[in-house]
Amino acid sequence: MSVRHWFGPHGKSSKGQGHPIMYGRPKAALHFDAFPDGGGYPHRFLEWAFEMMGVSDPSCVLHLCSGSVRSGITVDIRPETGAQIVADCRKTGLADESFDFILADPPYAADYAENLYGTGVVYPKPGEILAEAGRLLRPGGQVGLLHFIVPMPRKPLKIVGVWGVTTGAGYAIRAWTLLKKESPPYNNSLEFTPRAGGSG
């Protein structure tokens, strides 16, 4: 197993200001908007994640626990985020096998969820998020989870790779785990599938 590191530059955002505008391909895209309590991915992370996943159209990506994300299809349990779909990310109500790409950046612990957002009682564990993602993904689809832990894969999902994500010295490092939905019959191995190309 190899662990790769992606080092992102510091954004100029601060709590209460949301995130700076991030630019996508092939044209400029607004991925983040101002949101009172912040939340979201590190500056320029989404462009890198889209490249790693092979996303050509960011508007087709489903974002679970979307927070301040404004591109793609957004799902968050908090109405005040302005998400397109207000729902628990563990039970979205969306159709089976309806997405090729899913990204999730949930709170990293129940007390973290409670202290920041008042959602500790509905804190989604990584395995629960991945169970819903496995249902929503088409065979061959991918889900990327940003968290403090690397989740245990459960069929039909298999880990493609894990990268360390940091916003700089003095900040906690997170794991971005990329998983792919296999078609039956499933491989029960916990081994990583090597990913061709890309240094991360």
Total structural domains within the chain:
1
pLDDT value at residue 78: 87
Residue in 148, 163, 113, 136 with CA at minimum distance from that of residue 63: 136
Instruction: Please check whether residue 15 lies inside any domain of the structure.
Output: yes
DSSP 30-86: --B---TT--SPPTTHHHHHHHHHT-S-GGG-EEET-TTB-SSEEEES-GGGT-SEE
pTM of the model: 0.75
Instruction: State residue 61's pLDDT score.
Output: 96
Average pLDDT of every residue of the chain: 78
Does residue 14 sit within a domain?
A: yes
CATH classification of the domain holding 126: 3.40.50
Q: Is the pLDDT of residue 85 over 70?
A: yes
pLDDT in tens, 23-76: 444 444 556 555 545 456 777 788 899 999 999 999 999 999 988 888 899 999
Q: How many percent of the chain have pLDDT more than 90?
A: 42
pLDDT of residue 8: 41
Position 164 in a domain: yes
* Mean local confidence (pLDDT), 152-157: 92
Q: What integer pLDDT is reported at residue 27 of this predicted model?
A: 47
Query: What pLDDT is stored for residue 25 in this prediction?
Result: 45
Is it the case that residue 92 has pLDDT exceeding 80?
yes
- Cα–Cα distance for residue pair 19/196, rounded to 1 Å: 31
Between residues 166 and 177, the one the model is more confident about? 177
Is the residue at 199 inside a domain?
Answer: no
**Cα 56–chain centre separation:** 17
Residue 142 — φ and ψ, nearest 5°? -130, 150
| Residue 129, domain member (yes or no) | yes
Task: Look at residue 43 and tell me if it is in a domain.
Answer: yes
78 located within any domain: yes
| Residue 15: pLDDT over 70 | no
Greater model confidence, 99 or 166: 99
What pLDDT band is residue 129 in, cutting at 50, 70 and 90?
A: very high
| pLDDT grade for 185, boundaries at 50, 70 and 90 | low
Beta carbons within 10 angstroms of residue 3's beta carbon:
12
Give the domain range for residue 157: 3-181
131, part of any domain: yes
